[in-house]
Structure 1
């Protein structure tokens, strides 16, 4: 089916990553940065040129479009989703993608900063890609494969389906979201307008991976009130909120329950931001675990640490606020086994061995699953995310395109 197909996923990807779409976790607007709409407008234009007249960018920055059904069968409407924003963890302005054709298996030195070296020994998956065409950034920025590889794959698969009416499928809703990296990606999503019954995010890593399990996640904020006074007359009076914050962070477990000491299904408590003055300081933390109930234990431990530190500072005050973020999508997906089963079949038809994997993180699919859209995550090839050493294989992206097309077929055949 794809023997003579001229893929457009690569040229699309190279075009999309040069558009700065970094989101801002400190912003209170939605989307958090207006520049995310720059990519949204381009995608709408390209979708309309492809033939999807209903493609639109809404005021919140979501791109919606529909691939019409071409079968008489009653097929559930599925949604293909990817996010347009890139992480704020690394510079995303002025991305210059570099294609390394027929990768030789060695280290990749990035041209704009020779100190940035993607070492094969440190990237086991990269060693498997010898002979593939690898795209990296230039060394000064992240690449943006997370998640523009998914955006490009969906766009190319859309083109394929429209150009090959012999491939039967039901109606498919396309959704591109802003602000996934801030955890707010579906906050303003109109589920009735989306009108899909099942979904798939294209935001996974290695070839063949299908992720149906994520962390459950809460955010925590500790607000500390100290006592401010001129340091020259502070003896016995000053209580530094900054120092209390430092003691709380230092008292968190060092050999367990932290990202740097856990793996697999182990959860953690992770401080992500500390800011403040002598009078008031704040610690933002994230709590993560694959077992939702364990989040309560993590919060209880955090409160215990906070209270123990405060005993040494009786004039200080502190409060702990917990905010639910998302939950393990497996709790929903287990109730709809066909969603993952069809994805596995599509991956096999693309000539790839399916790899069931877990995500030590979350996706838009985590929240979508609990909003009524069961939504596992399919591979795109994006690797070394949120860093200057991010990379993606062109051949992996092409296999993602094939998987999407086969997925549409499987849903039609089994309806």
Structure 2
């Protein structure tokens, strides 16, 4: 039933379009043109600060529980001038950029499902189609949507990789924004008069528990910026870090450990330390017995795929939808090695993943 050739062409067309976070206009124009063939008009649903466009939504009437079908249209860097190529059973970039299967594979799958439902006049439940923007920079597109704008009973977020996985859990994430202020001095003439802010930060970082803390918790210091020249003791340094956990008690403990070490190192050196902690998103867990999980698992088995219910260490728009009261899970349509120049997608996985989503949707129809 899925038009494989069209699905793959749509995916290739999409990844050729530059759509870095907050710069998704080209992809939006493609979506509008594609859906116009089916007499569907996209409306904007919340726009993040600094964005060219907002999230794009449309509705397909039907019978049964109302489903939210979502994928994000932005990509990470390096994502300009992507040149996709078919290599055997895979689609890859030319190696100088990402491919953009995260999340153009999900977008292509949704477009194909819409086309099939309308062309074949297939009965289906009410569908809220939502293409989000700026997901890759903190889910800020989805965060711009107000609760009263989403009416769905359940959500399917096509932002995973493996097509056999049903992701029913994701963690809470806190970000740490840190500024350490020491004292500038000439590095060659009066170094003893300075307080090296980079050294203060380094001493704290060296003592931190980072990486995988346990099966529920991770932490990282990902950005550090400071200093002006090699002959100046650096007066100020900025750090950005994060901690994630499926367990709020463990998250609080990890964040406290990172803060305490930074503050202690600063006090010891006579430096000042400012720390801001920001909650990026909250965790969610959908019970394995939930009918949403059960229907997806049934659809997978129909495609001779053994379902695996699992959790993720990453965040997605599903975190936001669950927080807004819409039970949502994450499904994959084949993206592999995402956020790297080795990113690729197995064409058969793209097709099979799309079939699973279509079968899930049909399973919710109430005639």
| TM-score relative to the length of structure 1 | 0.80
Map 1:50-199; keep pairs closer than 5 Å.
50-52=38-40, 54-57=41-44, 60=47, 61-69=54-62, 71=63, 75-88=64-77, 91-101=78-88, 133-165=89-121, 167-183=122-138, 184-199=140-155
How far apart are residue 295 of structure 1 and its match? 0.8
Map 1:286-305; keep pairs closer than 5 Å.
286-305=242-261
CA distance in 1, matches of 2:340, 2:12: 17
How far apart are residue 406 of structure 1 and its match? 1.2
Counterpart position of 2:331: 378
How far apart are residue 46 of structure 1 and its match? 0.8
Structure 2 residue matching 1:21: 3-state secondary structure? coil
Counterpart position of 1:37: 25
| TM-score relative to the length of structure 2 | 0.90
Counterpart position of 1:347: 300
Counterpart position of 1:8: 6
Q: Which of 349, 362, 365 is 1:409 aligned to?
A: 362
Contact 2:169/2:312 (<8 A) preserved: yes
Extract unaligned runs of 5+ from structure 2.
48-53, 228-233
CA distance in 1, matches of 2:191, 2:361: 71
Map 1:166-315; keep pairs closer than 5 Å.
167-183=122-138, 184-231=140-187, 234-253=190-209, 257-259=210-212, 265-277=215-227, 278-313=234-269, 315=270
How far apart are residue 258 of structure 1 and its match? 0.9
Aligned pair count reads: 354
CA distance in 2, matches of 1:411, 1:11: 28
CA distance in 2, matches of 1:190, 1:301: 34
Q: Which of 277, 291, 307 is 1:322 aligned to?
A: 277
CA distance in 1, matches of 2:191, 2:160: 56
Counterpart position of 1:118: none
| CA RMSD, Structure 1 to Structure 2 (Å) | 2.1
Structure 1 residue matching 2:268: 3-state secondary structure? coil
**Greater Cα offset, 390-399 or 56-65:** 56-65
Extract unaligned runs of 5+ from structure 1.
24-32, 102-132
How far apart are residue 296 of structure 1 and its match? 0.5
User: Would you say 1:356 and 2:309 are equivalent positions?
Assistant: yes
Structure 1 residue matching 2:65: 3-state secondary structure? coil
- Kindly tell me: are residues 6 and 307 of structure 1, through their superposed partners in 2, closer, same or farther at Cα, counting changes over 3 Å? closer
Contact 1:350/1:406 (<8 A) preserved: no
CA distance in 1, matches of 2:39, 2:146: 23
CA distance in 2, matches of 1:193, 1:209: 29
Contact 2:46/2:145 (<8 A) preserved: no
